[in-house]
């Protein structure tokens, strides 16, 4: 590759797709690259996970869903040219999922209710640790609709179920009651067990 070629590639990368930032390459979603190539520069912001991985997201997407990020952008504490938003309590895997959720809901908000619900159900098809991490992240970032979704899922794990079943679902191995207390409870509310 000639000197000129490398320079023009660098410029192309810099302007449209991938920014080299402090040595790291900022990740881009394929759709954004396509849109960028089509000549539509979307305003992006950068989120940094606890593992110091940087994610670039459409500003509009995050501002629509996360109250915390919306406030940061509005009060001007985020400078587009340089800064990134550090999210020290969210790991990369979870952050990527959160971004997926927000992006899907922004781009597909006109879809019919059934399709959106099916996507949400698939989205939450994760193990217990994954659900916990998503809950903490959504709580921290104050993403109302994701929180409601997760609350609804957890609520359904409790509603109408027997105590033994709930203990199994949530891995409550030691109920912490004295044997007398547990026996008393079982006697008083037999239909709950």
Partner 1 sequence: MGDALGSDLISDLPQSIVESILVRLPIRDAVKTSILSSKWRYKWASITQLVFDEKCVDSCSDRDVVEKSVVKFITRLLFLHQGPIHKFQITISYLQSCPEIDQWILFLSRNDIKELVLELGEGEFFRIPSCLFNCKKLSRLELFRCELDPPLSFKGFLCLRSLNLHQVLISPDAIEGLISNCPLLESLSLSYFDSLALSIRAPNLKYLYLEGEFRDICLDDTPLLVEISVAMYMTDDIAEHFEQSASCNFLKFLGGVPNLERLVGHIYFTKYLSIGNDPGCLPIIYKNLEIIELNQVSFEDMKEILVVLRLITSSPNLKELQISGSSNIPSATDAPDLDFWEKECSSKCRLSHLRVVQLTDMCGVPHEMELIKFLLASSPVLETMSIIPCVYVVESQLKMLTELVKFRRASAKAEIVFVRE
Dist CA 169 CA 108 (whole Å) = 32
Q: Give me 142's structure tokens.
A: 């104050």
Contact map string, positions 113 to 142, toward partner 1, x by CB under 8 A: --------------xxx-xx--x---x---
- Dmax of the chain from CA atoms? 84
Figure out which of the listed residues 5, 82, 174, 180 binds partner 1, where binding follows CB under 8 A: 174
Minimum distance, C-beta of residue 162 to partner 1, in the bound complex (Å): 9
Place of tokens 């797709």: 17
Alpha carbon separation from 83 to 33, 44, 45, 136 (Å, rounded):
21, 11, 9, 24
Does residue 192 touch partner 1 according to CB under 8 A? Answer: yes
Minimum distance, C-beta of residue 47 to partner 1, in the bound complex (Å): 22
- In the bound state with partner 1, the residue whose beta carbon lies nearer, of 26 and 147, is 147
Contacts (CB under 8 A) with partner 1, residues 139-168 = 139, 147, 151-152, 154-155, 157-160, 163, 166-168
Residues 6 or more apart whose Cβ sits within 8 Å of residue 96 = 55
Place of tokens 């940094």: 48
Residues 6 or more apart whose Cβ sits within 8 Å of residue 138 = 98, 146, 147, 150
> How many residues belong to the site for partner 1 (CB under 8 A)?
33
Minimum distance, C-beta of residue 116 to partner 1, in the bound complex (Å): 20
Number of alpha carbons in the 13 Å side-chain half-sphere of residue 97: 21
Minimum distance, C-beta of residue 31 to partner 1, in the bound complex (Å): 32
- In the bound state with partner 1, the residue whose beta carbon lies nearer, of 35 and 166, is 166
Positions in the binding site for partner 1 (CB under 8 A): 127-129, 131-132, 135, 139, 147, 151-152, 154-155, 157-160, 163, 166-177, 185, 189, 191-192
């Amino acid at each position: 590759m000639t000197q000129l070629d490398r320079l023009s590639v660098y410029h192309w990368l810099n302007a449209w797709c991938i920014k080299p930032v402090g040595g790291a390459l900022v990740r881009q979603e394929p759709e954004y690259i396509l849109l960028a190539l089509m000549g539509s520069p979307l305003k992006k912001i950068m989120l940094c996970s606890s593992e110091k991985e940087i994610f670039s997201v459409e500003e509009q997407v995050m501002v629509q869903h996360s109250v915390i990020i919306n406030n940061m952008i509005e009060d001007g504490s985020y400078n587009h040219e340089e800064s990134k938003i550090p999210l020290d309590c969210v790991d990369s895997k979870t952050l990527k999922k959160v971004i997926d959720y927000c992006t899907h809901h922004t781009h597909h908000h006109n879809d019919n209710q059934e399709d959106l619900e099916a996507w949400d159900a698939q989205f939450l098809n994760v193990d217990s640790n994954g659900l916990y991490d998503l809950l903490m992240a959504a709580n921290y970032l104050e993403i109302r609709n994701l929180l409601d979704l997760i609350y609804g899922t957890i609520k359904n794990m409790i509603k109408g179920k027997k105590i033994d079943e709930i203990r199994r679902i949530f891995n409550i191995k030691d109920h912490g009651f004295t044997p007398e207390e547990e026996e008393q409870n079982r006697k008083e509310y037999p239909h709950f067990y």
